[in-house]
Structure 1
Amino acid sequence: MSSMSYEPTQIFFIVLSGIILMLLMSGFIIVMVLLHRQQQLRNHQKMDSLRAEYEKTMLKVEKEIQDQTLSFIGQELHDNLGQILSLTKLTLNSPDEESFSEGKRLINHAIKEVRSLSKRLNLDWVKEVKLQDFISNELQKIEASGFCKTQFETNVEALTLDQDKKLVLIRIIQECLNNIIKHAEPSVIYISLMEKNDALSVTVKDNGKGFDAEDKSKGMGLHNLKSRIETIGGTLNLSSIIGIGTEIKLLLPFE
């Protein structure tokens, strides 16, 4: 029976090879661990950045809605409530009983208006209002002002949205309508609110002047709208033709 024997030099090279292999494996593992930790750090930094951007967006949206609400309340106090109270004063100056009854009715109406306005001083109304009701009310106000005709189409009956998402959508729709009123000169504003393929779709369209969507001087507002919808996981697409009108489509996937 024969046995295999190794020269001391061979044994040395075998041991040395084993050590080198172990060092290479150890080095590879260390490099992989370091790369993994760097990736984790980058992911944490990205998440922190996204979270900060989200919080910044929400704070800005809340402030803008509050500012717009205060502007609306100031206008209502001047144009609506002020007119009611002036009419009440004139009515109560008359001595007959019928005028007194009409004055009481006007005072009750003024109290209701004050209560309604007080509810809008904070953002609690966002929790209560349905998105479809908000859109319908905004379009009714535009049409009642005589600015232009409006159309609203929806297949949404029961819609549950996170308050922050609803807040952002409300602000984007407000901004779209403000831009139309300021610049578009349309005869019709059309909005649709649809549930499609596990997503909420909002389309805001007008038949006004349109504009060059590639014009960088008009791109900042669009960039802000895109940034906001992306913050809550949605997308925005705009198309506009000069002399034909503008269409903005928002798509927000359901969780």
Structure 2
Amino acid sequence: MGGEDSQILFILFSGVFLAAVMATFVVAMVILHRQRQVQNKQKVEQLKVEFEKTMLNIENEIQQETLNHIGRELHDNIGQLLSLSKLYLGSSKPERQAEGKELISKTITEVRSLSKSLNLDWVENLNLEEFIQEQLDKIEASGYCKTEFVANHLHWEPSKEQKMILIRVIQECLNNAIKHASPETITITLDSSGTEKFIQIKDDGKGFDSSIASTGSGMTNLKKRMETIGGKFHLQSIPGKGTEIKLLLPV
């Protein structure tokens, strides 16, 4: 009986020990799971804060650029229209007075257009292809270099937030090409690849060694901005062979 009692006690102690081990394992897994939940929640909150901060910066940049544009228009365009209107309306000739009234109407239309641009709601109705073509037309009109635009009809309608990020990133990429690349041609292509749609910005300018880490924050900021809308920023450049940038977004 003594041997049987020992076996029973051993089985009982073994069972208790295994139960304790299992309970410890379960508790550890629960604690680990909760820790991961907290970490994931913190990560989501951090991403949300970064997104809101990025969008606020973008809005401020667009508004500042809009104000600069309005200032130039008021000085160069509206001011000239009003001066001519005053001159024509002060004329004794009926045809000149009629021209003055037409200029006043044109001025009112121009002012209304400028006032609408103060509200960022215009971004929501912005056509991305038209925006890109407009940016390239401005570069070519300045005589700086030639431009090309290739848009494969993707029927792509980014959200307002995506468009706000994209227009600023595209503008910055074009500004960098103008300031540093000295290209003969800048080409922008809209296309898709697999599960992603992309905007390719390519120039045939000076280029640089993109394998060397940049000391500036410009490219890092562009990369982070694309990441806030679930996108990617890829840059490839070779000295003497130009630069290629791809802005990728999931379909």
1:66-103 CA-partner distances (Å, limit 9, x unpaired) = 11111111112112222222232333343222222221
1:132–1:156 Cα contact (<8 Å) kept: no
Counterpart amino acid of residue 112 in structure 2:
R
Equivalent of residue 84 in structure 2, options 81, 84, 87: 87
Aligned to 2:247, the other structure's residue is in SS state strand
Q: How does 1:174-189 map to 2 (within 5 A)?
A: 174-189=171-186
Give the aligned partner of residue 42 of structure 2. 45
Give the aligned partner of residue 21 of structure 1. 18
Give the aligned partner of residue 158 of structure 1. 155
Give the aligned partner of residue 33 of structure 1. 30
Q: How does 1:59-208 map to 2 (within 5 A)?
A: 59-156=56-153, 158-208=155-205
Give the aligned partner of residue 216 of structure 1. 214
Structure 2: unaligned runs, 5 residues or longer: none
- TM-score normalised to the size of structure 1? 0.89
1:200–1:251 Cα contact (<8 Å) kept: yes
Counterpart amino acid of residue 51 in structure 2:
Y
Distance 1:35 1:124 in 2: 45
Distance 1:146 1:93 in 2: 39
Aligned length: 250
Equivalent of residue 234 in structure 1, options 211, 231, 234: 231
Distance 1:211 1:87 in 2: 50
Mean CA deviation greater in 7-16 or 224-233: 7-16
Q: Superposition RMSD on alpha carbons, in Å?
A: 2.1
Distance 1:241 1:83 in 2: 47
Aligned to 1:7, the other structure's residue is in SS state helix
Q: 1:180 to 1:72 in 2, by over 3 A?
A: farther
1:37-79 CA-partner distances (Å, limit 9, x unpaired) = 1121221121111111111111111111111111111112112
Deviation at 1:228, TM superposition (A): 0.7
1:127-163 CA-partner distances (Å, limit 9, x unpaired) = 1111111111222222233333222110236322211
Deviation at 1:191, TM superposition (A): 1.3
Aligned to 2:217, the other structure's residue is in SS state helix
Deviation at 1:112, TM superposition (A): 1.3
2:154–2:191 Cα contact (<8 Å) kept: no
Distance 1:69 1:98 in 2: 36
Deviation at 1:170, TM superposition (A): 1.0
Aligned to 1:109, the other structure's residue is in SS state helix
Distance 1:196 1:112 in 2: 43
Distance 1:6 1:228 in 2: 74
* Structure 1 consecutive aligned stretches of length 4 or more whose deviation exceeds 6 Å: none
Q: 1:36 to 1:215 in 2, by over 3 A?
A: closer
Distance 1:118 1:224 in 2: 30
Structure 1: unaligned runs, 5 residues or longer: none
Deviation at 1:212, TM superposition (A): 3.7
1:156–1:195 Cα contact (<8 Å) kept: no
Distance 2:15 2:232 in 1: 56
